[in-house]
Structure 1
Amino acid sequence: MSTYDDTKANGMNERGALLDFPGADELATAGHVEPLSERALARVLAEVEAAVATEGTTVGVATVTPIRRLTGRRRALIGLLTTAAVATGVVTYANNGTTSAGTGTGTHSEARANTASVFLDDISTVAAGQSASSGKYWKTRTTVGTAYISQSMDYYVVNGGKAYRKGLRPDWQVGPKDLDWKGLGQLTTDSGKLLGLLQSPPRPKSISPFDQAVTLLTDSPASPKLRAGVFKAMGGLKGVKLLGQVKDSTGRGGTAVEFAEAKSLGQVIVDPKTSAILEYTFTWTAGPSKGKVTHQTFLSTGFTDKIG
């Protein structure tokens, strides 16, 4: 008895059984597809990731399951995968089994870039909803130690339970501006204006716009509104891509975003529930420092009124 004998009893042939899932008609007839809007595509991919996580299936690795054993949940998963395939311009032709990229204006890489901007826009909303706070010092605790910055920009590190003053912390760089604690509080929170600052022509010894943004989000007392503006501005940078769900070096789950420039690659892991930066990795990909990697894992950041 063949695998599909039970479907024939219901008047369905083998091809009909294989295509008996949500979205099959669209997938089979798709030749040229128009990409979904950025936000709609982001939602589709998010639903696929959630469904995949529930079912324990990896996107891109096909597991053949007899149709007669498909549960409602798995049928829904296949439907979501189909929707994502059509939305990103990937068309599977049921008649010969070939897979090819769509010829529409949207490509898979462009879809991922667009999704990154939508993700960062959503994180912007999360950041804006965080409670505002204040304190005498900004505390940053990483896997290698704890540091404090005072309102007068004095920089302290804690070693062996004792605090040591290490001089003044350099001002935060935002495009053509160098801002201290007070200046940071006067910085615009408008994402469009922040993007314009980040995209300003680089100065001597200036860091990448992505690096500037991440530094503001981790190493500065930026308000919730400013953090929201910075996240949204990051989504407007050319070269930003969404990598998806990952774990940092301590095993915490988050969503990774990367930014590629001519000589460097920055990758940040964000906690989508809180907007906190979990980890940042900066790699030189060309030039004299090619191969050099700077890696920071942030355990916590926030205000405090005392050192230690």
Structure 2
Amino acid sequence: MTAYDDTEDNGMNERGALLDFPGADELATAGIVEPLSERALARVLAEVEAAVATEGTTGPKAGAVALTPIRRASGRRRALIGLLTTAAVATGVVTYANTGAAPAGTGTHSEARANDASVFLDDISTVAATQSATTGKYWKMRTAVGDAYISRSMDYYVVNNGKAYKKGQRPDWQFGPKDLDWKGLEQLTTDSAKLLTLLQTPPRPKSISPFDQAVTLLTDSPASPKLRAGVYKAMAGLKAVKLVGQVKDSTGRGGTAVEFAEAKSVGRVIIDPKTSAILEYTFTWTAGPSKGRVTHQTFLSTGFTDKIG
């Protein structure tokens, strides 16, 4: 049996179903086209993956088509692929999302995915820089398990059943050799090269990974849009970061995931490519006594507020 022998209820095999969308003939006629630049490829890849994750809830941008084998493709998804194909033929651009094979001449698949991650994160830094700057008395994190607040004096509060409880002082944010409180965070450089140098500083005893340091700063700290942009761009320089691709978080929201693997663990973060917001962070132990243990945080929203509750 070949990869296209699976027949649908309407008598159409998988290959026929895959090509059963508006624009398929034009795509076949278009043939081989010139490839995108790495930056443009990462951008359209993120946009296509986000669109597929939400099954076409937003309109496509010209210049991309994702060709991913889909069994029993729904009418909505066929329509989405058709729209993307029309744009591809019009502009002479075809991209392949999550095909599992490295483009010719780019080295191993692992190397290609790592390179894609750096380009994707570099592009996300641009998105982060365009977000509006706001302020407030507290930084609020609304997660799947409840709400938490950090004051400018680093007091930490949680809300349970509508009542606020002070839980002491929030530890300073670790970033390379620095331990930053709220004021120190505001004084931290936003230059991505300097931020990368800090992240790559030899770790101190019990330091969390550079990836974890960056993710923590991007989720539970009041980092400005300019600082967030710098941190994302610095993450793009971490060689161990690899692109996973389009996924959904535990609440069903679509985003693009990147991973950072260490000797005994893997950290994965899901990013909304439209807003640069981190949707979810998952940490998995891959070796040692905790092997197989998984923890994750799902961020429903983060931002400034002037009151608790």
- TM-score, normalised on structure 2? 0.74
The aligned counterpart of 2:68 is 59
Conserved in 2, the CA contact under 8 Å of 1:44 and 1:83?
no
Matches for 1:143-292 after TM superposition, within 5 Å: 143-292=144-293
Q: Output the CA distance in 2 between the equivalents of 1:74 and 1:203.
A: 48
The root-mean-square deviation of aligned C-alpha atoms, in Å, is 3.5
Q: Output the CA distance in 2 between the equivalents of 1:286 and 1:130.
A: 39
Q: Output the CA distance in 1 between the equivalents of 2:187 and 2:251.
A: 35
Alignment partner of 1:21 out of 19, 28, 43:
28
The 1:245/1:81 distance shift into structure 2, 3 A limit, reads farther
**CA positional deviation for 1:287:** 2.2
Which has more radius of gyration? 1
**CA positional deviation for 1:105:** 4.7
The aligned counterpart of 1:94 is none
> Partner amino acid for 1:38?
E
The 1:263/1:77 distance shift into structure 2, 3 A limit, reads farther
> Partner amino acid for 1:243?
V
Q: Output the CA distance in 2 between the equivalents of 1:299 and 1:72.
A: 32
Q: Output the CA distance in 2 between the equivalents of 1:72 and 1:103.
A: 26
The 1:296/1:74 distance shift into structure 2, 3 A limit, reads closer
Q: Output the CA distance in 2 between the equivalents of 1:57 and 1:113.
A: 20
Conserved in 1, the CA contact under 8 Å of 2:247 and 2:256?
yes
Conserved in 1, the CA contact under 8 Å of 2:119 and 2:236?
yes
Q: Output the CA distance in 2 between the equivalents of 1:89 and 1:248.
A: 21
The runs of 5 or more residues in structure 2 that have no matched partner are 1-24, 57-64, 73-80
Conserved in 1, the CA contact under 8 Å of 2:271 and 2:278?
yes
> Partner amino acid for 1:303?
F
Q: Output the CA distance in 2 between the equivalents of 1:23 and 1:229.
A: 39
Matched positions, count: 266
> Partner amino acid for 1:158?
V
Please state whether the residue corresponding to 1:21 is helix, strand or coil. Answer: helix
Q: Output the CA distance in 2 between the equivalents of 1:213 and 1:207.
A: 10
Q: Output the CA distance in 1 between the equivalents of 2:280 and 2:128.
A: 17
Q: Output the CA distance in 2 between the equivalents of 1:102 and 1:127.
A: 29
**CA positional deviation for 1:221:** 0.6
Q: Output the CA distance in 1 between the equivalents of 2:100 and 2:142.
A: 43
Question: What are the superposed Cα offsets for residues 59-105 of structure 1, whole Å, 9 maximum, x if unpaired?
Answer: 15699xxxxxxx986976997999547xx996xxxxxxxxxx77735
The 1:50/1:276 distance shift into structure 2, 3 A limit, reads closer
Please state whether the residue corresponding to 2:228 is helix, strand or coil. Answer: helix
Please state whether the residue corresponding to 1:118 is helix, strand or coil. Answer: helix
Please state whether the residue corresponding to 1:207 is helix, strand or coil. Answer: coil
Conserved in 1, the CA contact under 8 Å of 2:43 and 2:123?
no
Q: Output the CA distance in 2 between the equivalents of 1:224 and 1:134.
A: 11
> Partner amino acid for 1:160?
N
**CA positional deviation for 1:45:** 3.9
The runs of 5 or more residues in structure 1 that have no matched partner are 1-17, 28-33, 64-70, 91-100
Q: Output the CA distance in 2 between the equivalents of 1:40 and 1:162.
A: 48
Q: Output the CA distance in 2 between the equivalents of 1:74 and 1:214.
A: 32
Q: Does 1:128 align with 2:129?
A: yes
The 1:44/1:133 distance shift into structure 2, 3 A limit, reads closer
The 1:262/1:305 distance shift into structure 2, 3 A limit, reads same
> Partner amino acid for 2:39?
R
The 1:22/1:50 distance shift into structure 2, 3 A limit, reads farther
**CA positional deviation for 1:19:** 11
Conserved in 2, the CA contact under 8 Å of 1:89 and 1:103?
no
The 1:44/1:252 distance shift into structure 2, 3 A limit, reads closer
Question: What are the superposed Cα offsets for residues 128-186 of structure 1, whole Å, 9 maximum, x if unpaired?
Answer: 11111111111111010111111111111111211111111100000111100100001
Q: Output the CA distance in 1 between the equivalents of 2:164 and 2:221.
A: 19
Conserved in 2, the CA contact under 8 Å of 1:21 and 1:76?
no
**CA positional deviation for 1:245:** 1.7
The aligned counterpart of 2:38 is 38
Conserved in 1, the CA contact under 8 Å of 2:50 and 2:246?
no
Please state whether the residue corresponding to 1:296 is helix, strand or coil. Answer: strand
The aligned counterpart of 2:4 is none
Conserved in 2, the CA contact under 8 Å of 1:48 and 1:77?
no
The 1:51/1:82 distance shift into structure 2, 3 A limit, reads farther
